[in-house]
Amino acid sequence: MTNAQSGTARESLPPTGDDLLLTVDGREPVTPGTVAAIGAVCDAAEDRAGRSSVVVRVSGAPGAPGGREPGELTVALVGKWERALGRLARLPALTVAVADGDCGGPALDAFLATDYRIATGTVRLVPTVLAGTTWPGMALYRLARHGAAAAPIRRAVLFGTPITGAAALALNLVDEIADDPASALAAAGELAAATSGPELAIRRQLMSEASTTGFDEALGVHLAACDRLLRRAVAGAAS
């Protein structure tokens, strides 16, 4: 596994290894370095054309011991961070997150942008509270898409109440609670074994658009995806 970048991070990305690793510490504020870290991992995943999964390790929350204040955080920097996370969410590669303990701030942002989410039994999803109110970033948007009417999500968004691991699992914010994250991570990697990275990205997009796109509008895009798959199957049978 390649240790690509940490949220505080290094500026070079090792070119070898099977998976790409991104580590995000939620105790630390968003900086140009954290934005660059995600960009470097996305560059590498795109260069590998989906042949590598991206593993995102997250932990820590703002206000925890050892953390730092937002400092020079600006709306422009937040915009760059959110766009970097949007790119991570659209990668032509499987993205798997592993969360441990309290997970908030940039760690929660990154966690919610992944395809498959593993958590240890100690995990809590902790919304960021700044100046007495919850941070209205895209983590709020991603939480709400999982069920704005669900009481734990409503309390998290409005009041900053942490979401426990059990509640996160019940709300599908977490795919599994694992006593052995390493084994769970290995099993998650096998989920995408039969699907190429680019094809996974297409299905992710089709699924995302299904709730907002009418049948007739969606039909052409789905037929195009079916056509690509049939051509691949024919080519594979002929080789």
Q: Domain of 183: which CATH number?
A: 3.90.226.10
Q: Is the same domain home to 138 and 212?
A: no
Segments forming the whole domain that contains residue 168: 2-191
Residues 6+ apart with CB under 8 A from 94: 53, 54, 115, 116, 188, 189, 191, 192, 197, 200
Judge if 182 and 224 occupy the same domain: no
If one counts the domains in the chain, the total is 2
- Angstrom distance (rounded) from CA 161 to CA 172: 18
One domain, residues 43 and 160: yes
> Is residue 49 domain-shared with residue 156, that is, in the same domain?
yes
Q: Indicate if 22 and 48 belong to the same structural domain.
A: yes
218 and 126 inside one domain: no
Please give the DSSP secondary-structure letter assigned to residue 161.
P
Closest CA to 167 of 179, 150, 181: 150
In tens digits, the chain (239 residues) has pLDDT values of 444 444 443 333 333 347 899 999 999 999 999 999 999 999 999 998 878 899 999 999 998 655 556 667 899 999 999 999 999 999 999 999 999 999 999 999 999 999 999 999 999 999 998 888 999 999 999 999 888 889 999 999 999 999 999 999 999 999 999 999 999 998 887 776 667 778 888 888 888 888 888 989 889 889 988 888 888 788 878 77
Same domain, 98 and 212: no
**CA separation, residue 126 to residues 23, 38, 90, 220 (Å):** 17, 21, 24, 41
Residues 43 and 73 in one domain: yes
Q: Please, how many CA atoms are within 13 Å of residue 37, restricted to the half-sphere of its CB?
A: 23
Same domain, 48 and 152: yes
Q: What is the pLDDT of residue 70?
A: 64
Q: Would you tell me how many other CB atoms lie within 10 Å of the CB of residue 204? A: 17
Residues with Cβ within 8 Å of residue 192, at least 6 apart in sequence: 53, 94, 200
Asked if 119 and 216 sit in the same domain, the reply is no
Supply the pTM of this predicted model. Answer: 0.85
Q: Are 57 and 23 in contact (CB under 8 A)?
A: yes
Picking from 191, 206, 222, the residue at the C-terminal end of a domain is: 191
C-beta of residue 67 within 8 angstroms of C-beta of residue 27: yes
Q: Does 220 share its domain with 181?
A: no
**Please, which residues have CB within 8 angstroms of residue 132's CB and are 6 or more apart in sequence?**
none
| Tokens at 163, concatenated | 């979401």
Same domain, residue pair 13 and 104: yes
